Amino acid sequence: MTGTPARPVLLVVAHPHLAGSRVNRALVEAARGRDDVTVHDLAQARSGGRFDVAAEQRLLSAHGTYVFLHPLYWFAAPALLKAWQDEVLVEGFAHGRDGDALAGRRALVAVTAGGRADDFSPQGRHGASLRAFLLPFERTLAYCGVDVLPPFAVFGGSRLDDACLTRTVDAFRALLDRLADGAGLPEAGAAGHLGPDDLLGAVP
């Protein structure tokens, strides 16, 4: 890992309309105020249609673990995250010659989906696992030398009742605890340990 991260976990929020999202907003609020988590809202960070690339790269360098929180839009991340990826994860910083700033960091995707868990399977309504839809971004992170952990998924987001939302938030807090102290996490990419469809957490 290049450099010594100042804080353990960076929560990168990639929801273009966070205020209107009941589930994503609750997860973000669960992370605010923690000494071991920095909450970074990409929609607020983007100005004039662009990111401050140097500032974004400094933020990545200052943390050892990244959680990318976003809803599933048309079976992919919102365009906001793709724009950030294209502008920030550039050659010379994240990959290529001398581009090892992210090497040895850990990351996972925390995704909220409107569909049910059983919709996301080769036999289900969507014809593929949730992990299959996340693969392009996960492979991008891996290409940058990041150790990619299985995703945290929230299914049926628009139909969650208050009790289930509370359980979801509790599960996300527990995940942040594990990421911050490194306890009980699977080894990223361990052969025979994690299958392509495994999730680090799934609610409900």
Find the radius of gyration of the CA atoms of the chain. Answer: 16
Q: Is residue 1 part of a domain?
A: no
Sign of the C-alpha dihedral, residues 6, 7, 9, 10? negative
Structural domain boundaries, residue 81: 7-203
Question: Taking a C-beta distance cutoff of 8 angstroms, is the pair 188, 148 a contact?
Answer: yes
Structural domain count of the chain:
1
pLDDT band for position 6 (cuts 50, 70, 90): low
pLDDT value for 189:
42
pLDDT band for position 2 (cuts 50, 70, 90): low
Q: Is residue 2 part of a domain?
A: no
Q: Is residue 56 part of a domain?
A: yes
Q: Is residue 100 part of a domain?
A: yes
Q: pLDDT digits over 143-159, tens only?
A: 999 999 988 888 887 77
Q: Is residue 181 part of a domain?
A: yes
Q: Is residue 64 part of a domain?
A: yes
Q: Is residue 75 part of a domain?
A: yes
CATH number, domain of 185, equals: 3.40.50.360
Q: Is the pLDDT of residue 29 over 80?
A: yes
Residues 6+ apart with CB under 8 A from 33: none
Report, as an integer, the average pLDDT of 9-13.
97
Question: Taking a C-beta distance cutoff of 8 angstroms, is the pair 9, 176 a contact?
Answer: yes
Report, as an integer, the average pLDDT of 115-133.
83
Q: Is residue 53 part of a domain?
A: yes
Q: Is the pLDDT of residue 103 over 90?
A: yes
